[in-house]
Structure 1
């Protein structure tokens, strides 16, 4: 994962970000710690931005 996934100009595709989200949930086994929750929220924001940018 990039150090600041919500930085403008991220070159990662929505598919790449989705892979990171899926991996996070797999590692967490369905229950996120507060730190993982923050990471998930950052990834989700990055994913949403990638979807809008790709459209």
Structure 2
């Protein structure tokens, strides 16, 4: 499994939570729920990105 993002983005930019969530779902689907060490690392990165996207959305809404 590749640990690279299928959706290229510029580091430092924040993708929407929905986009990151879709990538998380695709990762789990692609691995049938059995993450390799590389997939687990990517999952952790995506979780951090997803949380940042949620925070950015809350700031924008405020």
Q: TM-score range by the shorter chain?
A: 0.7 to 0.9
Deviation at 1:9, TM superposition (A): 2.4
Counting matched residue pairs gives 52
State the TM-score, normalized to the length of structure 1.
0.83
Q: Is 2:20 aligned against 1:35? A: no
Q: Distance in 1 between matches of 2:31 and 2:23?
A: 12
Match of 1:21 in 2: 24
Give the unaligned 5+ runs of structure 1: none
RMSD: 1.6
Larger-Rg structure: 2
State the TM-score, normalized to the length of structure 2.
0.75
